[in-house]
Amino acid sequence: MADPRRTADRVEELWVRTRCVELGARYCHGVDQADQATFLSVWHADGEYVIGRRAGRFRGHAELASALDFVRAAYVSTHHWTTNQVVTRTGTGSATGVSDSFAVCVDHDDRPTLVAATYDDEYRLVGEEWKIWRRIVRRWLVSDGIEVALRHPASVQARP
């Protein structure tokens, strides 16, 4: 017969992983839609977001609120995909995570730019909700704007 405590621990582990993976997805939606409410909802009140070495450092909701302006100063739009996410509980109310991110960003000259990065995350439990406490973005690739014709889905003709 299965030990009920072990089963409860396994269910808890799955819950933590699921909630933290969802934070990653909501982060992408918040950034890509420039939706400040969604973006801020994933962060701990004292959360820290490190994109770059100097200018891209934000701590606490007041500074995090300006992070979307920082992204929009570089790109007109972004479209993120996060994958290979691994979440590990490190304590009762803490966990770490690592994931890979790929984004197609459109610069101010309407040229796509490719960005690949790794997110190193720390999560904290706040009440009943998991939040990102720290996200460090390690960029591996940022391409120059690519000269390709962008075809927006509404203008692409359906093939017979």
In terms of pLDDT, which residue wins out, 43 or 74? 43
Give residue 155's pLDDT.
Answer: 55
Percent of the chain with pLDDT over 70: 88
- Fold of domain 4-149: Nuclear Transport Factor 2; Chain: A, (3.10.450)
How remote is the C-alpha of 36 from its chain's centroid?
Answer: 13
What are the pLDDT digits (tens) for 126-160? Answer: 999 999 999 999 999 888 887 776 566 665 555 55
Mean of pLDDT over the chain = 88
**Sheet with strand 77-91: strands edge to edge:** 57-59, 43-50, 129-142, 112-126, 94-106, 77-91
> 160 or 124: which carries more pLDDT confidence?
124
Q: Which range, of 4-8, 22-26, 39-43, 93-97, averages the lowest pLDDT? A: 4-8
Q: Which residues have a Cβ under 8 Å from the Cβ of 44 and sit 6 or more positions away?
A: 124, 126, 131, 132, 133
Record the pTM.
Answer: 0.84
Is 31 within 8 Å of 71 (Cβ atoms)?
yes
> For residues 100 and 139, what is the distance between their CA atoms, to the nearest angstrom?
10
Is the pLDDT assigned to residue 35 strictly greater than 90?
yes
Closest CA to 46 of 131, 136, 138, 137: 131
pLDDT in tens, 79-109: 999 999 999 999 889 999 999 999 999 999 9
